[in-house]
Chain A
Amino acid sequence: MRHTISVLVENKFGVLARIAGLFSARGYNIASLAVSETLDPEVSYMTIVVEAKDEKVLEQINKQLNKLIDVITVTDFTKKEHIDRELVLAKVNYSSRDKAKLEAVFGKFVGKIIHHKADTAIIEAVGDQDQIKALLEELDKFGIKELVRTGKLAISN
């Protein structure tokens, strides 16, 4: 099962390595990771998405995260109400012939064209996981040349 975990940490060097180490030491791959400062520049907020094969191991990771001296709070959003969003930038094939078709996509799906050249357009989209997935399936029909994603951000509601 996929878990979305947020971790509030002291904004100090080495803290990311400490957190990543808890996952890697147990053979867990972090699916996505987003880190940035909060309103308080001494505190950073991390959103970590991880695939847990064994819930017990994840519970142990959560407890170990809490044990790290630089970790202030840990929240597992999996069983909590929250809003999550991800930003993606996609470079897709673009020809004047397809222009109308591509623009029509954004009537039904999240996203917009933020840049285009003769043969490529860059699409920016913000949405939850389902919205992003649906958009990418649609864009695939045009041919995605390159894709970058921020990873999930989550906030409680």
Chain B
Amino acid sequence: MKMTGSQILLECLKREGVEVVFGYPGGQILPTFDALYGYKGFKFILTRHEQGAAHAADGYARVTGKVGVCLSTSGPGATNLVTGIANAFMDSIPMVAITGQVPTSLIGNDAFQEADITGITRPITKHNYLVKDIKDLARIVREAFYIASSGRPGPVLIDLPKDVQVAQTDFDWPQEPKLRSYNPRYTGHPGQIKRAAKLIMESKKPIFYVGGGVITSGASDELLELAERIGAPVTWTLMGIGGFPSLHKQSLGMLGMHGTAYANHSIMDADLIIALGARFDDRVTGRLDMFAPNAKVVHIDIDPSSISKNVKVHIPIVGDARQVIVELSGEIKRKPAIGDWLQHVEDLKKKYPMCYKDKDKILPQYVIQQIDEVTSGEAIICTEVGQNQMWAAQWYNYTKPRTFVSSGGLGTMGFGFPAAIGAKLGQPDKTVFNVAGDGSIQMNIQELATCVENKINVKVAILNNGYLGMVRQWQELFYKRRYSYTPITSPDFVKLAESYGALGIRVTKKDEVKPALQRAIETDNTVFIDFLIEEEENVFPMVPAGEAINNILGGLA
């Protein structure tokens, strides 16, 4: 039976197991939206901006581990996806973005709503395709899903000209893709694993440094087992949050610029770093030439280009974090003798506890702690970017992977709210919070309509301090309190929520925090809670950019 390009696309998406597509129509994607009319193969969510669609697909992918899918028209629709694609690329999130394109005969003619989106997205996609012949379409969609979800995951874009959408051909579901030039390696090198095991058993001050790769590969259980066998303390990156239970006795919390002081001091004092699916980002290492000076490094990563990029690695192991952990576990024959080291780490924990000084006004840390309490640490927490993100990372006790959804690499304000929409659709039984600032929430606030229209029950906790808080904090600390364009006004968030048909709650006193959160959770609707918090509260601890990570401001350090 002959099918159109648009019908083939939808059929392929369905066969790939797609449950939901986020998108926005437009001229050059009209044939595909015509095919979507009344289509029942998967759910389609109309966002209010293409950026929202990309972030929603991203959020969906983060909580499910499946490929997130977004769809837009050509030109401005496609360029509006760009931030969302770059965001997914930086955090290795599997995503397929499909864009309409002007007909092949017009490509390169500066046609209306034409943009060279494969050219634009080349450095921010794992791969991309311009479909010029309908006969290639099914194969390309299969390859796109395969590439997006295998190896180190990432976004793949498919640019689909209008004439290819309407052309017809016989549909054949292609075989599983095999690409001679793309063969991700999952198992670690046995010799390297033996060497790593030996180093671990001989180490005196080992530490686990856990990144997003542990979440991606589903290695949490295996990591817990390995960590308990070795007994070493465990610290993690922002992307690694949830990979290891934060209340475990070996847990040190997050490290880096806003990490715990004891995690930073511990890694600086370590003699062996076991890096799992992490990439030694500058927000983690601080000043590179002073980072962990006495430590040897075992680096396990699926992406060879992450290894020895920033720090010198003694034992590189290319492979999937989960598989390599299992293989490594088999080689650990005895516990290293690390009693003194564990005592030292315990002392550091006592000496530099996470803390904040209570004030009359509501403190953001307290709000996050209350969210933790009312959700028993079981919610999915999405964040925007800035202070809200760091407080959400520091003060909620994450116990499971895929429960913290945050823009790590790109640092995209406006990510959290649409990502929460995707997260709620991916995990409908979970309570989903978006921790926001009054600045960030205004970057994609239009998605309130998407929430209400589709009854996507998301709770938005706005930590409203009247500032673009993180930038203000830097201005306070490093620019002599010259608050250049960081005081920010906001609409009345309660009225705004109400005007969209959501519930708005304003909280001005500490004792109202918990009841408001409880009311929000009990409400079967999207809820905006406007927490009027202490205006100039800072995120501490803090390592100034470019300093060694044991040079810590704030807290008791």
Which A positions have Cβ atoms within 8 angstroms of B?
9-10, 13-14, 17-18, 21, 25, 59-60, 63-64, 66-72
Tally of contacts, chain A with chain B, CB under 8 A: 34
Is the Cβ of B181 less than 8 Å from the Cβ of A64?
no
- CB–CB B303/A69 < 8 A: no
From A67, which residue of chain B is reached at the shortest CB distance? B305
B146: shortest Cβ distance to chain A, in Å?
A: 10
Verify A69–B147 contact, CB threshold 8 A: yes
Q: Inside 8 A of A68's CB, which chain B residues have their CB?
A: 127
B123 touches A14 (CB 8 A): no
Task: Give the residues in chain B near A9, CB-CB below 8 Å.
Answer: 181
A63–B316 CA distance with the chains assembled, in angstroms: 14
Q: Which of B130, B179, B308, B309 contacts A69 (CB 8 A)?
A: B179
Query: How close is A156's CB to chain B, nearest CB, in angstroms?
Result: 19
- Residues of B284-329 whose CB lies within 8 A of A: 303-305, 308-309
> What are 18 A-B contacts defined by CB distance under 8 Å?
A9-B181, A10-B181, A14-B118, A14-B130, A18-B122, A21-B122, A21-B123, A25-B123, A60-B305, A64-B305, A66-B304, A67-B303, A68-B127, A69-B127, A69-B181, A69-B182, A70-B181, A71-B181
- A10-B181, A63-B304, A72-B180 are known contacts; what are 12 more A-B pairs with Cβ within 8 Å? A13-B130, A17-B119, A17-B122, A25-B123, A60-B309, A67-B305, A69-B126, A69-B127, A69-B147, A69-B179, A69-B182, A72-B181
Nearest chain A residue, comparing its CB with the CB of B151: A67
Cβ of B118: which chain A residues have Cβ within 8 Å of it?
14
CA of A70 to CA of B125, assembled, Å: 13
The residues of B that contact A10 with a CB separation of less than 8 Å are 181
Residues of B within 8 A of A14 (CB): 118, 122, 130
Q: Which residues of B contact A63 (CB under 8 A)?
A: 304-305
Q: How far is the CA of A136 from the CA of B305 in the complex (A)?
A: 40
Q: Which residues, 100 to 145 on B, are CB-close (under 8 Å) to A?
A: 118-119, 122-123, 126-127, 130
Nearest first, the 9 A-B pairs at minimum CB distance are A63-B305, A69-B127, A72-B181, A69-B182, A63-B304, A64-B305, A21-B122, A67-B305, A21-B123
Complex Cα spacing A10 to B179, Å? 10
Please give the distance in Å from B136's CB to the nearest CB on chain A.
Answer: 11
On chain B, the residues within 8 Å of A25 by CB distance are 123
By a CB distance below 8 angstroms, the chain A residues around B122 are: 14, 17-18, 21
Per-position binary interface string of chain B over residues 164-177, scored 1 when its CB falls under 8 Å from any chain A CB and 0 otherwise: 00000000000000
- Chain A residues with CB below 8 A from B179, complex form: 69
Nearest chain-A residue to B307 (Cβ)?
A: A63
Task: List the B side residues contacting A60 at CB < 8 Å.
Answer: 305, 309
Please, which residues of chain B bring their CB within 8 A of the CB of A59?
308
CA distance A84 to B60 in the complex (A): 51
For the complex, give the distance between the alpha carbons of A10 and B304 in Å. Answer: 21
A70 to B127, CA, bound (A): 9
CA distance A9 to B308 in the complex (A): 25
Complex alpha-carbon distance, A60 and B180, angstroms: 22
A75 to B495, CA, bound (A): 62
Cα separation A17 to B119 with both chains bound (whole Å): 8
Shortest Cβ gap from A104 to chain B (Å): 50
Q: Which of A13, A25, A67 counts the most B-chain CB atoms under 10 A from its CB? A: A67
Nearest to B129 among chain A residues (CB) is: A14
With A and B bound together, what is the CA distance between A60 and B310 in angstroms? 10
Residue of A nearest to B181 (CB): A72
Shortest Cβ gap from B29 to chain A (Å): 21
Task: Looking at the assembled complex, report how far the CB atom of A64 sits from the nearest CB atom of chain B, in whole angstroms.
Answer: 6
Residues of A within 8 A of B181 (CB): 9-10, 69-72
* Residues of A close to B308: CB separation below 8 A: 59
Complex Cα spacing A127 to B258, Å: 58
Min Cβ gap A20→B in Å is 10
A17 to B309, CA, bound (A): 24
Q: How far does the alpha carbon of A113 sit from the alpha carbon of B309 in the complex, in Å?
A: 50
Chain B residues positioned under 8 Å from A18 (CB to CB): 122
Which of chain B's residues has its CB closest to A71's CB? B181
Q: For the complex, what is the distance from the CA of A9 to the CA of B123, rounded to whole Å?
A: 18
CA distance A115 to B303 in the complex (A): 53
B304: A residues at CB distance < 8 A: 63, 66-67
A18 CA / B122 CA spacing, docked (Å): 7
Smallest CB-CB separation from B308: which chain A residue?
Answer: A59
Chain A, Cβ-Cβ closest to B156: A69
Q: Would you give the shortest CB distance from B183 to chain A, in whole angstroms?
A: 10
Name which residue of chain B comes closest to A70, CB basis.
B181
- Smallest CB separation, B311 vs chain A (Å): 12
Chain B residues whose C-beta falls within 8 Å of the C-beta of A69 in the assembled complex: 126-127, 147, 179, 181-182
Name the distance in Å between B15's Cβ and chain A's nearest Cβ. 22
